[in-house]
């Protein structure tokens, strides 16, 4: 499987061929979710590789490549908002899948992350030693700034100064979803590259190649393949035709299905295992799912109303046969009270365990109504 998406290959070859890289600053621009970050990342790695292959891709084996993969290359600086740094570092092995999508959806994430959503002037000033002192073995240095439009005004001005007096042997790669938000003076000092977006067919093919492997039994391979195709089309449309974003939606949808599966079967409900399974996900998202689920349980018990999970009516009905409306209301109240704490939990795992242990009591509320401490 080729690492570079098909729709980027011509661009890659063009860049490698026509000497564009002698420029001291590039601006890769285009809509979110089409793989710009991946492209910039591969470009940086290839330029720092001692023995790139015939198509100029990094070898993946030299010392430079090793450093790069360990995030410790002395000649590479990645400048991203704090909130994004966490996501990028945690995705090292699979940066391909959802890096851009995470960046795109980060505005929906917790308050904790909102505080670090800008690139600050300190981050840009912190580059001084890096760009103006001699690098490792006097080699080429690369600064990757992503997403460039998140630089605040002071940071933009500090970068502008550097672009006005470009340090030697240094390439700035700016990646932007909204390049019109950059200072015009920054834009004009960069070689601007409009990153290609895939057509639908290419996007679907790319998604299907990366579709998570699952073992499904009792169904024909052809039928599975047809389902996937349809599903891929649906997600692609949902994502505004950005395949990276579409795949990350798939992750969330699958996770959501597993979550629903877990919370709707009393016999197999295991609060500790569920807390373990959900701890990779943003805590506020999990609480949101649970609130919506309990809201529907309550609505169904009160007057057969289902708002958030219209396709799961039958399942909701079967859960509701085992629980009590008053307990459901009590649990919802408990959840609502806990929800603000989910933004700053002392221990996320314990927080989830407590929430699910209490939910387990709700699932057994047919015979006696539990009280939930708020
Ligand atoms: Zn290499």
Domain annotation for the chain: domains and CATH numbers: 6-194 (3.40.50.300), 264-363 (1.20.272)
What are the tokens at 171? 């390439």
Ligand 1 centroid–CA 92 distance in Å is: 17
Ligand 1 centroid–CA 68 distance in Å is: 9
d(CA 121, CA 143): 15
Ligand 1 centroid–CA 63 distance in Å is: 7
Ligand 1 centroid–CA 26 distance in Å is: 22
Ligand 1 centroid–CA 169 distance in Å is: 19
Ligand 1 centroid–CA 18 distance in Å is: 22
Nearest by Cα to 110 from 351, 290, 342, 277:
342
- Non-local (6+) Cβ contacts of 313 within 8 A are 300, 306
Ligand 1 centroid–CA 278 distance in Å is: 37
Nearest by Cα to 336 from 287, 279, 303, 289:
287
Ligand 1 centroid–CA 173 distance in Å is: 19
Ligand 1 centroid–CA 242 distance in Å is: 30
d(CA 8, CA 42): 11
Ligand 1 centroid–CA 50 distance in Å is: 5
Asked if 28 contacts 193 with a C-beta cutoff of 8 angstroms, the reply is yes
Helix (H, G, I), strand (E, B) or coil at 55: coil
Ligand 1 centroid–CA 48 distance in Å is: 7
Ligand 1 centroid–CA 78 distance in Å is: 18
pLDDT by position in tens, the chain (length 374)? 458 999 999 999 999 887 767 789 999 999 989 999 999 999 999 999 999 999 999 999 999 999 999 889 999 999 998 877 766 655 443 444 445 544 444 334 444 444 578 999 999 999 998 888 765 666 789 999 999 999 999 999 999 999 998 888 899 999 999 999 999 999 999 999 999 999 999 999 999 988 876 545 444 556 666 778 888 887 887 777 889 888 887 777 778 888 999 999 888 899 999 999 998 888 888 998 899 899 999 999 999 998 878 778 899 999 999 899 999 999 999 999 988 888 777 788 999 999 999 999 999 888 778 888 76
What are the tokens at 34? 């089409």
Rg (CA), the chain: 24
Ligand 1 centroid–CA 72 distance in Å is: 14
Nearest by Cα to 124 from 177, 183, 70:
183
Helix (H, G, I), strand (E, B) or coil at 175: strand
Question: Which stretch of DSSP H or E encloses residue 130?
Answer: helix 128-132
Q: Which chain residues have CB less than 5 Å from ligand 1, an ion? A: 49, 58-59, 62, 65
Ligand 1 centroid–CA 348 distance in Å is: 39
Asked if 96 contacts 243 with a C-beta cutoff of 8 angstroms, the reply is no
What are the tokens at 67? 């450093």
């Amino acid at each position: 499987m080729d690492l570079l998406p098909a729709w980027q290959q011509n661009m890659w070859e063009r860049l490698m061929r026509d000497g564009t890289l002698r420029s001291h600053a590039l601006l890769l621009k285009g809509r979110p979710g089409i793989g710009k970050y991946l492209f910039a990342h591969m470009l940086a790695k290839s330029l720092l590789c001692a023995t790139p292959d015939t198509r100029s891709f990094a070898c993946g084996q030299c010392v430079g490549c090793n450093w790069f993969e360990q995030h410790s290359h002395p000649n590479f600086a990645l400048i991203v908002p704090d909130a994004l740094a966490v996501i990028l570092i945690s995705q090292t092995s699979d940066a391909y899948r959802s890096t851009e999508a995470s960046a795109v959806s980060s505005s929906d994430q917790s308050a904790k992350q909102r505080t670090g959503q800008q690139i600050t002037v300190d981050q840009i000033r912190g580059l001084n030693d890096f760009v103006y002192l001699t690098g490792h073995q006097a080699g080429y240095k690369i600064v990757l700034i992503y997403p460039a439009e998140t630089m605040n005004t002071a940071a933009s001005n500090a970068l502008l100064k550097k672009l006005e007096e470009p340090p030697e042997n240094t390439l700035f790669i700016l990646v932007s979803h909204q390049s019109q938000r950059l200072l015009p003076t920054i834009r004009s000092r960069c070689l601007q590259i409009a990153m290609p977006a895939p057509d639908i067919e290419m996007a679907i093919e790319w998604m299907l190649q990366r579709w998570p492997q699952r073992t499904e039994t009792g169904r024909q391979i052809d039928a599975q393949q047809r389902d996937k195709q349809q599903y891929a089309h649906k997600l692609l449309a949902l994502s505004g035709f950005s395949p990276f974003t579409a795949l990350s939606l798939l992750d969330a949808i699958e996770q959501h299905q597993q979550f629903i599966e877990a919370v709707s079967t009393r016999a197999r409900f295991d609060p500790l295992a569920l807390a373990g399974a959900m701890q990779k996900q943003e805590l506020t998202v999990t609480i949101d799912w649970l609130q919506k689920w309990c809201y529907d349980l309550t609505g169904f018990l009160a007057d057969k109303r289902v708002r958030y999970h219209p396709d799961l009516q039958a399942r909701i009905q079967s859960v509701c046969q085992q629980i009590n409306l008053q307990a459901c209301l009590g649990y919802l109240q408990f959840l609502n009270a806990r929800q603000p704490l989910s933004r700053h939990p002392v221990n996320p795992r314990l927080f989830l365990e407590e929430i699910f242990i209490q939910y387990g009591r709700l699932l057994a509320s047919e015979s006696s109504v539990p009280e939930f401490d708020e």
